Amino acid sequence: MSMPLITIGITCFREGRWLMECWDSVLAQSDQRWDAVLVMDGGADAETIAIFRALDHPSLRKYSFDTNVGAYAARNRAFEMSKTPYHLYLDADDRIFPDTVARAITAFSTHPGAAYAFGDYRVFGDVDKRMPMIP
């Protein structure tokens, strides 16, 4: 595996099974030049805690807060744990397309001065459709 170029930071609290779906979307990436950090906010529910503890992968580092610090502090911790030049942050109830890492790396390689990259997103659940970030 090549050196990771992008850290996928996932924060979780009480998302339960959605955390597993989020993680599966990370594992499904067509470009494997990623590593991941998973940060669990304190006060998580039992299902989320069990999934957090069970997740194990050579490219995954985990951190758990003892007390509830909120989403922003959890994301900041994920950033502090990042070791790559690029970062992608997800909430545990998010999923990413299989080509997300590949597209992000291509975007930054093509535009090395860019501060950020973005793309389409998909709404799922009651509504299931792909949406452009900029109409």
User: Per-residue pLDDT tens for 7-48?
Assistant: 999 999 999 999 999 999 999 999 999 999 999 999 999 999
> Residue 133 CB: number of other CB atoms within 10 A?
8
Give φ, ψ of 61 to 5 degrees.
Answer: -115, 145
Residue in the block written with tokens 């996932």: 10
What's the token pair of residue 110?
A: 């093509």
Mean pLDDT, residues 70-86: 95
User: Which band of pLDDT confidence, cut at 50, 70 and 90, is reported for residue 2?
Assistant: confident
To the question of pTM greater than 0.85 for the whole model, the response is yes
**Cβ distance 70 to 41 under 8 Å?**
yes
Q: List residues bridging with 87 in a β-sheet.
A: 7
CA–CA gap between residue 70 and residue 112 (Å, rounded)? 33
The answer, yes or no, to whether residue 122 has pLDDT greater than 80, is: no
Q: Do the Cβ atoms of 70 and 40 come closer than 8 Å?
A: no
Whole-number Å distance between alpha carbons of 115 and 9: 18
Model confidence at 125: pLDDT above 70: no
Q: Return the pLDDT at 14.
A: 95
| E strand or H helix that includes residue 72 | helix 71-81
Across the chain, mean pLDDT equals: 91
pLDDT of residue 132: 58
